[in-house]
Amino acid sequence: MPYRILLTPRLVRPGRLAAGAAATLLIAAFATPPPANAATVKTSYDVDGAGKSAEYVPGEVVVRFADAVSAAHIDAAVERAGGNVVARSAVTPSRVVLAVPAGEEESYAKRFRALRSVRAAERNYVFHALWKPNDPLYQFQWHFNKPGFIYAEQGWDVERGDPRVIVAVIDTGVAYENHPIPSYEREEVDGSSYVQAPDLAGTSFVAGYDFVHDDEHPNDQNGHGTHVTGTIAQTTNNNLNVAGLGHLCSIMPIQALDNSGGGTSADIADGIDFAREKGAHVVNMSFGGSALTEIIKTACDDAEAAGLVLVAASGNDGADTVLYPAGYDSVIAVGAVDYDGELTWYSNYGIGQELVAPGGDTKVDKSNDGYPDGVLQMTYDQMYEPGLLPGFPEALANVTTFTSYFLQGTSMASPHAAGLAALIIASGYTDNDDVRNKLRGSATDKGLPGYDTQYGYGLINCKGALEPGVPEVDECGNCAQLSLAEIALFFGLFFGAYGLIFVRRKFKA
């Protein structure tokens, strides 16, 4: 593989459970392991007692002596006050970095501040670049920029993607090229020619395929696939429109859904196989159905075995059932949360839910930006609309003009997770199990403590997922964290059952 491999320590989280070993479970519940998002130990320091904290290098202090102070004087002062000089500034030799015992940084800094020859002394604080896209509508992409939410900006400071990392988008196609509409597709869309979305002009694409029409031009016939693609890799920092999460990664457009947004398992399986054979690393599937079909399951299993990361939408029925393909073991099921990080009214959940990501809620404007809280990306101005009412025939998508739409749905949540998976791969983690564990282990816990069937492992966290190391997350690792109510219920049922046994034996006797 062309990517650098990071040799990082594996972070071991206690609290493994043997299935059925309920007693162990109970004990482990009291010995609650660290939360899922505590993937790395970060040294921090309370700056002003107001809850603000600053990151610093443990065991280091920076001391700035007066300019006139000689190197010999500095060495003598350090010898008296303590510590060892580990670095001397090349540009300002009177500023040195001292090694001191970890945990005693502040007391050493104080000692040096007391010296008359010292202008300043303090911990060696850590600062991060704060990169923000310059796209004018980025301000409305709360799903990326809301502080303390999915930490996209902090993630971008670490990794913005790599064109060698390929995300296959199996959908209604993507508005990725300017291309004449073939004769056999003219009745399915409006417009004279397929046109590339302006805010996909700088996005990297690799060859895809249209399995609905069996040709090599998977242009979007609906508008859905273009919006989904935008969340993953909209051209970003181009002073135009909006941003995408994994914006420097490549997209492999695959059409398996027709102009109305429907597709068959035959075409979808072809799309998954194509992604596997053509070298995609991540597959996004913002569609679903209730059928547990062997055909798509087998294709997903093959793709996972080949090392791909598969991500899919959980469904929009608001039901306790994750749709397929999200429901397969080999696929990461993604539910939708709103601006507050709460599961949306429409999002499916249930056994198999693995992560949640912003899917939006266009009924409200909690972001207070004057617009409904949908996920904002570019797509066709006239998307496909079905003719649901008498007298209102279906409206075909016009494939020539574009705008930005706030849409909601688990369709919109899934590409957030897929984009983050691509960023993780770009950062050097090429094993799909590692990628999945980084997604799970870094997720911000929501709902019941630990894994639960509403939020899965929690809300995707770009900052945490892009930190070094692979958290060890096993299937039951987080089940140890039960709520007090659950523990009380456990004891109640446990002793209730024994009471019944006792009474029954008494009667028998």
Residues 289-348 that bind other proteins (CB under 8 A): 289-298, 313, 315-316, 319-325, 327-329, 333, 344, 346
Please, is 276 exposed, middle or buried when counting C-beta atoms within 10 Å of its C-beta (0-12, 13-18, 19+)? buried
Site for other proteins in 190-229 (CB under 8 A): 209, 211, 214, 222-225, 227
Which of 213, 217, 224, 247 is the catalytic position?
224
Do the Cβ atoms of 406 and 247 come closer than 8 Å?
no
Site membership for other proteins, residue 432 (CB under 8 A):
no
Distance CA 257, CA 280 (A): 19
Beta-bridge partners for 357: 336
Q: Whose Cβ is closer to other proteins: residue 54's or residue 137's? A: 137
Distance CA 490, CA 507 (A): 26
Closest CA to 463 of 420, 492, 494: 420
Do the Cβ atoms of 10 and 441 come closer than 8 Å?
no
Rounded (5°) CA angle 112-113-118 = 80
Which of 404, 411, 427, 442 is the catalytic position?
411
301 is catalytic: no
Q: Whose Cβ is closer to other proteins: residue 111's or residue 440's? A: 440
Q: Whose Cβ is closer to other proteins: residue 180's or residue 386's? A: 386
Q: Whose Cβ is closer to other proteins: residue 77's or residue 268's? A: 268
Which are the contacts of 492, defined by CB distance < 8 A and separation ≥ 6? none
Determine which residue in the list 171, 185, 304, 467 makes contact with other proteins, applying CB under 8 A. 171
Query: Which tokens hold the place of 413?
Result: 């949540």
Q: Whose Cβ is closer to other proteins: residue 163's or residue 372's? A: 372
Site membership for other proteins, residue 262 (CB under 8 A):
yes
Site for other proteins in 379-398 (CB under 8 A): 379, 381, 383-386, 388
Question: What is the DSSP code string of 77-89?
Answer: HHHHH--EEEEE-
Please give the helix or strand (H or E) that residue 338 lies within, else none: none
CB of 129 to other proteins, least distance (A): 27
Which are the contacts of 502, defined by CB distance < 8 A and separation ≥ 6? none
Number of residues that bind other proteins (CB under 8 A): 121
Site membership for other proteins, residue 350 (CB under 8 A):
yes
Q: How many residues does the chain have?
A: 509
CB of 481 to other proteins, least distance (A): 8
Phi and psi, residue 101, nearest 5°:
-60, 135
53 is catalytic: no
Q: Whose Cβ is closer to other proteins: residue 151's or residue 209's? A: 209
CB of 422 to other proteins, least distance (A): 20
Determine which residue in the list 112, 156, 194, 406 makes contact with other proteins, applying CB under 8 A. 406
227 is catalytic: no
Can the peptide bond before residue 325 be classed as cis, meaning omega within 30 degrees of 0? yes
CB of 55 to other proteins, least distance (A): 32
Determine which residue in the list 93, 307, 372, 468 makes contact with other proteins, applying CB under 8 A. 372
Determine which residue in the list 374, 441, 469, 471 makes contact with other proteins, applying CB under 8 A. 374
Residues classed as catalytic: 171, 224, 411
